[in-house]
Amino acid sequence: MLSTIPSWQQLALYALGSALVLSLLFRLPYVGQALRGVVSFGILALCLFFFLQQAPFQPWLAPLLERTGLSRQQVSGDEIRIRMSPDGHFWVRVTINGVETRMLVDSGATVTGLSVETAKQAGVRPDAGVAPIFARTANGVVQARPATVEQLELGAMTASDLKVVI
């Protein structure tokens, strides 16, 4: 049966076949040396791609992106005071891509999280071609999809190109 989505077994077979063909080509005198260079460059490029995709969600890597100018995120305004609600939480009204919604402020969170419903309402879609991330929450480890909010407004503060998870 032909499938447009290969199963893990099919992918493993393709990987094994590719590894076999590459190992044979690597033994050729001039072709092998050039091919090793191309494969090494490809692996390096792939590692750099994953690094740049995951860096905004890692607290120790995000400042590196900002210092090197690779982060597109911009924030204007630098202070806002939020009153504690009677339930002991900090709730705020924010505007995400022009859609107003209520959000919980978690001062210990390393990334902004949106529910699937809020993301749909604000027109925020998961970034294409980006691997999902796994986040450790109070309820255990969950899988989340990275996305980018064009504009998030909270009082006098505005964040553009804000990396979030859905």
d(CA 25, CA 104): 56
| 94/24: higher pLDDT | 94
- Cα end-to-end span (Å), the chain: 34
β-bridge mates for residue 135, sequence order:
142
Instruction: Report whether pLDDT(12) > 50.
Output: yes
On whether the pTM is more than 0.95, the answer is: no
Ordered by where they begin, the domains of the chain are 8-68 (no CATH), 74-165 (2.40.70.10)
Q: Tens digit of pLDDT for each residue in 107-119?
A: 778 888 999 999 9
What distance in Å separates the CA atoms of residue 63 and residue 69, rounded to the nearest whole number?
10
Check whether 74 has a pLDDT greater than 70: no
pLDDT at 2: 47
Contacts of 16 (CB under 8 A, 6+ apart): none
> What is the secondary structure of 80-121 as a DSSP string?
---PPPTTSS-EEEEEETTEEEEEE--TT-SSEE--HHHHHH
pLDDT at 163 over 60: yes
- Residue of higher predicted confidence among 111 and 70: 111
3-state SS, residue 74: strand
Nearest to 112 by CA among 162, 157, 155, 159: 162
pLDDT in tens, 19-57: 888 888 888 888 888 888 888 899 999 888 877 777 777
Q: How many helices (H) and strands (E) does the chain have?
A: 4, 8
pLDDT at 130 over 90: no
